[in-house]
């Protein structure tokens, strides 16, 4: 497989993409100030963002169509929750808004992807 093909495959590999998103969130929140506002927001965004990939892996190993749809629904829900907490982190840390926006865009794509999968 050519290097360009591998790169494209990774771009569309949801298992890899959701894991990379959670890693990027972790790397980002490690750089935020430790204060009373950020602490609970960081906890929530780490839980929600890491849950997307975990539930996608469970969906991939689903035992039935119903189980698959349920897990994809959780992926969508956790994506929306991640989007929400990124918005709040941006509000609490206006100097970091551009980084929040980049992560927000990626998780918004997850919302769209998982919504489309859920509908079918």
pLDDT given at position 12: 67
pLDDT given at position 120: 85
C-alpha dihedral sign at 60, 64, 65, 71: negative
- Per-residue pLDDT 10s for the chain (120 aa) are 565 555 555 556 999 999 999 999 999 999 999 999 999 999 999 999 999 999 999 999 999 999 999 999 999 999 999 999 999 999 999 999 999 999 999 999 999 999 999 998
d(CA 102, CA 105): 5
How many residues are recorded in the chain? 120
d(CA 117, CA 62): 14
Contact between 87 and 44 under an 8 Å Cβ cutoff? The reply is: no
- Of 50, 41, 47, which is closest to residue 93 (Cα–Cα)? 41
- Give the end-to-end CA distance of the chain in Å, rounded to a whole number: 31
The b/e string for 41-72 (b: 16+ C-beta within 10 A; e otherwise) is: bbebbbebbbbbbbbbebbeeeeeeeebbebb
């Amino acid at each position: 497989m050519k290097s360009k093909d591998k790169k494209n495959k990774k771009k569309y590999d949801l298992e890899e993409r959701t894991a990379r998103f959670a890693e990027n969130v972790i790397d980002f929140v490690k750089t935020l100030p430790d204060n009373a506002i950020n602490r609970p927001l960081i906890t929530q965004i780490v839980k929600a963002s890491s849950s997307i990939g975990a539930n996608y892996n469970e969906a991939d190993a689903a035992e039935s169509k119903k189980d698959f749809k349920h897990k994809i629904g959780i992926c969508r829900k956790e994506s929306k929750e991640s989007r929400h907490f990124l918005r709040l982190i941006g509000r609490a840390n206006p100097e970091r808004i551009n980084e929040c926006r980049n992560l927000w865009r990626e998780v918004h794509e997850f919302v769209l992807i998982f919504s489309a999968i859920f509908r079918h």
